[in-house]
Chain A
Amino acid sequence: MARIELDLAHAYKPDPKSDADYALLPLKMTFRDGGAYALLGPSGCGKTTMLNIMSGLVVPSQGSVKFDERDVTRSSPQDRNIAQVFQFPVIYDTMTVAENLAFPLKNRGVPAEQIRQRVGQIAEMLEMSHQLDMRAAGLSADQKQKISLGRGLVRSDVSAVLFDEPLTVIDPHLKWQLRRKLKQIHHELKLTLIYVTHDQVEALTFADEVVVMTRGKAVQVGSADALFERPAHTFVGHFIGSPGMNFLSAQGENGQLRVQSLEVAMPDGVSVPEGELKLGIRPEYLGMTQPHAAGSVPAQVRQVQDIGTYQLLTCDVAGVLVKVRLAADMPVPPVGSQVWLRVLGQHTCFYRNEELVA
């Protein structure tokens, strides 16, 4: 078990000049011993590069990787004592489930009695106890992937377990059960777990802290709640949530606010930052109000969608389309009508140069 500290940058080509030349821009980050982390972002964001640097498959072009203060920048995955689980099952088909789970322990010369105990414990957690004597070859793809997960978790002395999109092959209906298993296992074993995914549900459900990445940059590290309520960067607002956060241009001047050049009546006791801003508000928090209510702007209803469990309005605020999520039992205005939307409230975020300022 280890605390992992990164202070590095990585470019795959020599002599990087602009930001675009870096797969990972300079970053400093600490992964707590025993923490559950997710690296989340679209393809090409640098999350797999970061994982490979931690595992030792890639040496960063500058800076260092430390495990519990020990510099391991150039150490192999074996030296770092890392366990890894990949997208597709990596198991021995001819071995039984028990032999597969025992393999990483046997390799390290763990005494037979300890192996028996640990294999029993892991199989129990993964609900595979009844399958221990079955040959892996006869199992379904998701059963095989469960063995892979088990093999990743079986050693109690690892520095960290790294997962690279491990639930890709799992049937959608079974995914939640495995997410639950992983979460339970983390609570019981207290291993340092790092999980790479482009799936927000997986990341937000699994991790205590999610590292959101875009274009080689970690733009926020935080809990699911923080990423939803207070996105530190406009990308996080956009990427987390479906649909993502709405953004409107705004100008603060002498305590007054214009949104899309529309004058907003200021509610009592509300202050706004000065200067050129972006106002961010999630569809869940963008409510309809009385005309000219404090903190609101007028908008035209463009589209009304019944999404079954809720209703989604698309509205035009002075040329920018925003989404409004309404409860299924709320009356909805007809397409073409004018409504007033409350853009200023406790859930409103302000951004300058894409970074959260208030």
Chain B
Amino acid sequence: MQLSLEQVSKSVSGEVHLHPLNLALQPGQVTVLLGATQAGKTSLMRIMAGLDVPTQGRVLVDEKDVTALPVRERNVAMVYQQFINYPSMTVFDNIASPLKLRGDRDVATRVLALASKLHIDMFLDRLPSALSGGQQQRVALARALAKQAPLMLLDEPLVNLDYKLREELREELTQLFASGDSTVVYATTEPTEALLLGGYTAVLDQGQLLQYGPTAEVFHRPASIRVASAFSDPPMNLLPARRNGDSVVLDDGLQVPMALPATTTSALVMGVRASALRVQEQPGDVRFAGVVELAEISGSDTFLHVHTPVGDLVAQLTGVHEFELGASVGLFMSPAQVYVFDAAGPLLMAPERTGRAV
């Protein structure tokens, strides 16, 4: 199914929630709506679902105008942050409800198949309240999938779960979405979740749609400083700089040589992903000397916060590394891994992508 938004905007009592935007979702694929809280993700989803009518603009399903068509006349499945199930129905009846409503045959077989896919087949006789949060959300997901709606909307469905459960469920969901039966829209605040889901990503910020494209492409070639900031965790290091011939010169006079494209301005911003900074030097590196503010350890990664003369930097190091607070440290970076933005916002240069499928 092809869902398109044309010049859609939304204002509520004079306050702009969504600026006019155009968006044609990739049919049969996952589209991630990525943005901080209040970016406009939920407003956009409610319009897609038919729960809200846009202030301006049109919503088209397979080229048919459905802008004013209410949600119950559209074929949409939704999953929310909160675990929403019918509390007085068993897990079986919860999952079966959309099938029964439609008058399907083989209800039991379908319910069992879905329940076993989501690992809740042993709980079919229980009430949702007897299940853990993760299991309750699996029931809500199974019911949404049972509906087999051509459009499935998920609004931060994993946000209220422990991170290990989130990891597990996200992986199962990607597999379920891969069938391509539904066009899926998935809202999240987390850049890493967008990357793990793959598909396509729409970056939203303050009610504006900033960029839409294949997830990895948007990540590797953010169109602007705003996209780069929204789609980066930890945040991309942004350093004010200016152009001097073929070099980018940072505030403290540090020169980073590179083949810059022609620019109309000399005011630049250098963007460095945390993962591009290392503590081991390699030939041709640029060095930043600084002082350790904190080593945040996630297990798989250590995020090293360093105070330097050009600004505060965050480096992402693989594995566990311990650093004393206040210790001196040198961070190293290859000039080939630098993003350069016009200080006004637009991307001028992104690093070459080397690690592509062979």
Interfacial residues, chain A to chain B (CB-CB below 8 A) = 42-44, 172-173, 176, 179-180, 183-184, 187, 198-201, 204-205, 223-225, 227-229, 238-244, 282-284, 304-312, 325-334
Contact B320 A224 (CB under 8 A): yes
Contact A242 B219 (CB under 8 A): no
Contact B167 A243 (CB under 8 A): yes
Query: From residue A100, how far is it (CB to closest CB) to chain B in Å?
Result: 26
Pick the most buried of B162, B163, B293, B300: most chain A CB atoms within 10 A of its CB: B300
Count residues on chain B whose CB falls below 8 Å from chain A CBs: 41
Count of A-B contacts judged by CB separation below 8 Å: 122
Q: Which residues of B contact A239 (CB under 8 A)?
A: 164
Contact A184 B195 (CB under 8 A): no
Q: Which residues of A contact B167 (CB under 8 A)?
A: 242-244
Query: From residue B289, how far is it (CB to closest CB) to chain A in Å?
Result: 20
Q: Which residues of B contact A310 (CB under 8 A)?
A: 275, 318
Is B69 in contact with chain A by the CB < 8 A criterion? no
Known: A184-B325, A311-B355. A224 touches B297 (CB 8 A): yes
Known: A326-B355, A329-B355. A199 touches B294 (CB 8 A): no
A331 to B356, CA, bound (A): 6
Contact B320 A225 (CB under 8 A): yes
Query: From residue A340, how far is it (CB to closest CB) to chain B in Å?
Result: 16
Name A187's closest neighbour in chain B (CB-CB): B325
Q: Which residues of B contact A284 (CB under 8 A)?
A: 300, 318-319
Is B354 in contact with chain A by the CB < 8 A criterion? yes
Is B252 in contact with chain A by the CB < 8 A criterion? no
Interfacial residues, chain B to chain A (CB-CB below 8 A) = 132-133, 162-165, 167, 189, 191-192, 195-196, 198, 216, 219-220, 235, 273-275, 293-300, 303, 305, 316, 318-320, 322, 325, 354-358
A224-B297, A224-B322, A225-B322 known; 13 new pairs, CB 8 Å cut-off, are A42-B162, A176-B303, A176-B305, A180-B293, A180-B294, A199-B163, A205-B294, A205-B296, A228-B319, A242-B163, A242-B298, A304-B357, A329-B354
Q: Which residues of A contact B297 (CB under 8 A)?
A: 201, 204-205, 224
Contact A308 B294 (CB under 8 A): no
Query: From residue B218, how far is it (CB to closest CB) to chain A in Å?
Result: 10
A205 to B303, CA, bound (A): 10
A334 to B358, CA, bound (A): 7
10 contacts between A and B (CB under 8 A): A42-B164, A183-B325, A187-B325, A205-B295, A224-B322, A284-B300, A306-B198, A325-B300, A331-B357, A332-B356
